[in-house]
């Protein structure tokens, strides 16, 4: 008898206080429920108010499950995450790029600062960070916390 494997999405993160930056990395199969759980944790963080930049790494998440969820993700951003910040997603395949583009377009219409790119170098530029590319790559590969 075959067992059904259930994969969930893992979220890793770290705060870089000097840059007022939250680094996020999503790994595994995209899950809206797992995403909501990670949001609950982030919204309870004491130093959330000091964060004004977020860099999310989506290079290790499969995004097929997110098709059709853009509208709900925009609603979550609008109703649950009320804080203003600049957000950049690093993407690396056509599907996640298309989803990031649709999401960005909807958020930008509402006045949110949201972007995506395919390289860490570009993310650093967009976020105006004073961190070297290799350091950001190393941090993303060794984030201190996970959900």
Specify the 3-state DSSP secondary structure of 117: strand
Q: Is a pLDDT exceeding 70 seen at residue 3?
A: no
Q: Kindly state the average pLDDT of the residues 100-124.
A: 94
Give residue 77's pLDDT.
86
What's the domain range around 134? 10-142
Tell me the CATH number at 127: 3.30.750.24
Give residue 5's pLDDT.
45
Residue 59 lies in a domain: yes
The residues with which 11 forms a beta bridge, in sequence order, are 26
What are the pLDDT digits (tens) for 33-80? Answer: 899 888 888 888 888 889 999 999 999 998 888 888 999 998 988 887
Residue 4 lies in a domain: no
High-pLDDT (> 90) share of the chain, %:
64
**Contact present, 95 and 63 (Cβ < 8 Å):** yes
Give the CA radius of gyration of the chain. Answer: 15
**Contact present, 147 and 10 (Cβ < 8 Å):** yes
Give residue 11's pLDDT.
94
Residue 22 lies in a domain: yes
């Amino acid at each position: 008898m075959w067992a059904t494997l259930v994969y969930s999405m893992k979220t890793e993160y770290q705060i870089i206080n000097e840059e007022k930056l939250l680094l996020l990395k999503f790994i595994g199969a995209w899950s809206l429920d797992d995403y909501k759980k990670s949001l609950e944790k982030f919204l309870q963080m004491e130093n959330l108010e000091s964060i004004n930049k977020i860099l999310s790494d989506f290079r290790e998440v499969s995004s097929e499950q997110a098709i059709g969820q853009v509208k709900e993700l925009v609603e979550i951003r609008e109703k649950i995450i009320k804080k203003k910040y600049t957000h950049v997603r690093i993407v690396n395949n056509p599907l996640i790029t298309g989803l990031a583009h649709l999401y960005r377009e909807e958020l930008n219409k509402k006045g949110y600062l949201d972007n995506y790119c395919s390289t860490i170098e570009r993310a650093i530029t967009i976020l105006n960070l004073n961190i070297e590319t290799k350091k950001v790559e190393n941090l993303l590969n060794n984030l201190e916390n996970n959900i």
